[in-house]
Structure 1
Amino acid sequence: MTDPATAPAPVDVFAKVRGHERAEQLAAAREADLLPYFHVQESAAQPVVTMEGAERIQLGSNNYLGLTSDPRVIAAAHDAIDRYGTGLTGSRLLNGTIPLHLELEREIAEWMGTEDAIVFSTGHQANVGTLGTILGPTDTVIADSGDHASILDGCLLSKAKLRPFRHNRLDKLEKQLQRARGDGGGVLVVVDGVFSMEGDIAPLREIADLTERYGARLMVDEAHGAGVLGARGAGTSELLGVEDRVDLRMGTFSKSLASCGGFIAGTTEVVEYLRISSRAFLFTASAVPAAVGSALAALRIVRSDEGPALLSAVLDNARYLRDGLEALGYAVVQPQPIPTDVATGRTDVVTPIVTVTVGDDWKAVLLWRALFDAGVFVNTALHPAVPPAGAALRTSVMATHTRQHLDEALEVFARVKRAFEAEHGALPGPGVHA
C-alpha cells in the first residue's frame, strides 16, 4: 500500500479552470466592458427589446416567426399550467407524459411527413440522446465540421468512429464515405440543414446521393430550418425535395416554435427504439407543461392558413437585411441556390441567419459593442465557435420585424461602420465570407 506521506500530491481537478487559454481575454474584455455575452434582456423576445435599461433592435434572436408573444401561444402555455401544473416532476417513461406530448408528437410526424416522432426536453438532448443511442463503438459517424455542438457531443458519447469532413465539401464527404467502408459496422452521415453560425444550407440532394451510393444512413438537424424553409415550413429537407431520402430529422422548439424542447422524426421502429433506449430521454425530467403547450400552439399556427405568410415574411426580411448590409460594404453570407420555387420563381434563398464576417476577434467585439451602444443587439461568434480568423457578427431576423425596424438597424450599421473604420481600419468587404 502506498504511504500517503510519501505519495505524490494529487493533481487538483479544478486546476484547469485557472489560467486557461481564454482567461486572459475574458479578463481584458470584462475590464474594457467589451464582453458580448450574458447581457440581460428585460422584456419579451420581440423585434425591439429592453436590454440593460435601453431599447435595442433585436437582431440576435432565433424567434424566427415572432410567435413567442402571440396571444394564442401564450394562452396555450397558461392553459397547460392551469391543467397540469408548473412541472411534471418525472421522466416521460414514468409519470411525465401528458396528452399534450402525444398530440405534439403526432402533429410533428404529420408536419414532417414521417411515421412517428419523439419529443425531448431540449434540442441538445434530442441530438445527444439519438446519436448516443443509435450509434455504437463499432459504427462510423460522418459529420460536417460546421455541425452544431450537440451533434459532436452525441457522436462522442456514442464512441462511434468519428470522421469529420470540411464544411459542405462533397469531395471530402465522399472520401470519408470511402474510408468508412473499411471500418465495419453501420455508417451514419449527420449534417445541419441550416448551419447555425454560417447561415448557409447543406447541399442535401448531393449528400443524399452519396449516402445512398455508399449504403449509409442520413440524419439532418433541422433546428434552424424547421419553421422557416419549405412550403410547409418543414425545413431544408422539404425545400430541397429530399424528405423521403432523409432517415432521421431533428428539430427544436426554441426557434420558430416559440418554446423550448426538441424532436426526432423518423420511422416508427427507430422512434420506438429511442423511447425505450435513449438515456437522455429516459433519465431526464419531462418538459414543463407550458413548454409543451406553447410549442403545440405555435406548430398549429405554422400549419394553418397563416403559416405561408409568416414563412414568406421572415425570408423576405432576411433578404432585405442581407442586401442592405452588403450595400453598406459588409461581408455577408451569400444567397443559397435552390431548385426553382414554382410559387415565387426564386432560384435562391437567404435564411434568417445573416452572418457578417469580421475576421479578427477583437475587431468583432469592438464592432459588437459599437452596435450595442447605438441600439442594435447582435450575436458575436468568436473562435473556437468559428474557425481562427473567422470572427463574425451573427444577425437574425423575425417575421415580425418591420421595414422600419430593419431600416433603423441598417442606418446604425452604416454609422457604426464609418466611425469604426476611421479608427480601426477597413473591415472585410462583400465577397469575403468565413
Structure 2
Amino acid sequence: MGRALGSAIETESWADLFFSTGKLDFKRLMRCESQTVPCLGLSIVRYNVGGVGYEKDREQVSSKCQHWFRKIEGFVPERPEASWKFEWSRDSEQRSFLFLARRRGVSIVELYFNAPMWWMTDSSSSFGGRLVEHERDSFAWYIAMVAKHFHDEWDVPVKSVSPFNEPSSGFWRWPHDQEGCLISIDEQIDIIRRLTDKLLGCQLKDKVLIAASEENFVEQALQSCDKLQKLQEDGLVGRCNMHSYSGLDPLREADHPGKRRALRNAVARDGLNIWMLEHGTGDLTGLGLAQTILEDLNFLNTTAWCYWQPVEHRSSWGLVEADFGDGPGEKSVQAIKPPSANYYILAHFSKYIRPGALMMDCSESWAVAFSSPHSLVLVFLNSSHSRTMKVCLPATFAILKVKEAVMTQPLGKQFFRDWTCTWQRQGYSFELSAEMENHSLCSVLLGR
C-alpha cells in the first residue's frame, strides 16, 4: 500500500486521510459529490522492508504475483560477491509516504520483514520458501543495517524491528502472490540472538527492540511465546507481536475461549506488552471489526492495534477500495468506492483513543474506557436491538462532561453521526447512558 500511495498525485490527501485528526472532503480522492469524512489519526507506521531485487539473472519471479505494488524493493538487490552493496535509493515511493506520515506527527515506526532478501532463500525469491541456514547471519545483519540507516541517516524514529511474519503458519510456500518466508521457531531463536548482537554492534540495542513473532493463529502465538521465553527473560525479545486471525477468519473469543487471556498472562510474566498488528476482513457490515477490536482490547490487553491495509487494490479488505493502476509511473491512485463501514468503525477508536491513554478495567466485553489526564473516552457496541445502554463510572470523574459523541449504524447507512448521551450521578457513581440504534457503535469523549 505504501508504495502505491507514495507514488500517487494525491499522496498528500491520502496522508491527510490516514494520519491527520481533522476532516477531509473525499472528492479529493474520488470522482464524487462533496463528502466530508473523519480522518483516522493513525499514530503508528509499519514500514514493509522488502526482499525484491532486479528480477533478473538468478532471482526467481513468482507467477502468482500479478501486481507491481506487491513487489517491495529490497536494499541489497544483488547477491554480494565480496562486499555488500546497499542501494538506499530503492523503494522511494513507500519511503516518501513514510515521511508524509512523519510530517503529520507520527512518531512511532516499526520496520517489519515479510521475507529476507531473495538471495537468502532456498527458492531464490522473497515470494515463498525457506531461509537458507548459512544466510541467517546475513538476514540479521541486513535487518540491523536497514534499521541503522533509517535511524541515523533518515532520522526515522524506529522503535522496533519485526523480523518474522506468520512464520509458523505454513502459508509461505513458493510461489506465492505476496512476500513471505517459512521460519521455524528454532530458526527464529537463532536469528534473534544474531540480530541482538548486530543491533549492539550498530549501537541500537537500547534504542530499537526486537518484536516477535506475528503468528496467525493464537495457539501458534502461545507456542512461540513459550519457546521464546528464555529470550524474553534475557531481554532479547522486547514485545510480543501477533495477528488477530484464525487462518483467514477473524479471531473470535467464542471459538478460542481463554486463549487471548492465556497469551496475555504469558507475555506479562516477562513484563512485555502485546501489539496486535494485523487484522483484515471482507465483512462490510463493520460490526465484525468492532467486535474484533473490543475483544482484542479486553481479553488481550493489546497496547497497539493496527489494521491490515487501509487501502486495497480492488478488494473489500481495504477500508477504502481503490485502483492502484498499472505501475508507479502512472502516478495515480484513484478511490473507486467511498470509505466502507469498517473505515468509520476504526475511526471510532483511532480518533478518540490517542497515544498515552490508559485502558481502564471494564466488566463488559462490549465496551472499553480509556483515561487521559483531563479526559475520558468510552466506546461501546450494541450488537442487538435498539435499547438504552449504560456505563457506570467512579465518582472521581464527576468533574467531566460530555464534549463529543458520535454513532455509526452501518445497516442504516448512518456514519459518524452526532449523538446525544446523558451523564448523571447515580448514588456514589456516575452513569453514562445512550439510546442506541440496533447494531450500532458509539464513541463518547468526556472532558472538563
TM normalised by structure 1 equals 0.32
More strand by share: 2
More helix by share: 1
Higher relative contact order (Cα pairs below 8 Å, separated by 6+ residues): 1
TM normalised by structure 2 equals 0.31
